[in-house]
Amino acid sequence: MRTLNMLEPDQKAQISRLSGSPPFVRRLVALGFRPGADVRLVRRAPLGGAFQIALGDSFIALRAQEAGQIHLELS
């Protein structure tokens, strides 16, 4: 089992599960993260600490620790 923070830039994967506190999971779902959705890690932030993720037709920023709550299926 891998999580979103382990992807390399430009690598794609599919979300299998979300973890974390209920408000945080709701926030993720509102932004479009959900099991079955395809994600791509676009890049790490220039100073590190955060990730830019392509999700559907949008780009989302997530902190590394938050990206660790998004579990992936290997594709």
Partner 1 sequence: MAAAAAAQAQRLLLTVGNPNVGKTTLINALSGSRFEVGNWPGTTVDRLSAHCLLQGRSLELVDLPGSYSLAATTPEERIARDELLRLRPDVVVNVVDAGNLERNLYLTLELSEMGHPVVVALNLVDEARTKGLSVDAEALSRELAMPVVSLVASRGEGVDSLGEQAMSAAGAPRSLVTYPDAIERASEELQRLMPERSERRWLSLAALAGESVSLPGPVKERAEALRAELGVDPFLEIAGQRYRTAHDMAQRVLERQHVPPALTEKIDRFLLHPWLGLPLFLAGMLLVFRFTFLFSDPWITFVGDVQTVFAGWIAGSSLPAIVQSFLSDGIIGGVGTVMAFAPVLFFLYLAMSFAEASGFLSRAAFIADRVMHWAGLPGRGFIPLMLGFGCNVPAIYATRTMEDFRDRLRVSLAIPFTACSARLAVFVLFASVFFPGHSTLVVFGLYLLGLAIGLTTAAVLGKFAPAGLSSGAMELPAYRLPTLRLTLRQAWLRTFSFIKGAGGAIMVTVLVVWLLLNVGGPRPEDSLYGQLSQLMVPIFAPMGVTDWRLVGALIPGFIAKEVVIGTLGVSYLGADPVAPLTFLAGLHQLGASFLHACWAFLNAVPQMFGLPQFSPPEPEAPGGLAGALAPVLHPAGALAYLVFLLLYTPCVATVVALKQEFGTRWAAFSVVYQLLVAYVLGLLAYLVLK
- When asked if residue 68 is in the footprint of partner 1 (CB under 8 A), the reply is no
State the Cα–Cα distance between residues 11 and 42, nearest whole angstrom: 8
Taking CB under 8 A as the criterion, the residue among 10, 14, 26, 73 binding partner 1 is: 26
Is 66 a binding residue for partner 1 by CB under 8 A? The answer is yes
CA-wise closest residue to 8 among 44, 37, 62? 44
Candidates 60, 66, 72; CA nearest to 20 is: 66
Q: Which of 1, 8, 58, 75 binds partner 1 (CB under 8 A)?
A: 58
Tell me which residues touch partner 1 (CB under 8 A): 18, 21-32, 34-37, 42-50, 52, 56-63, 66
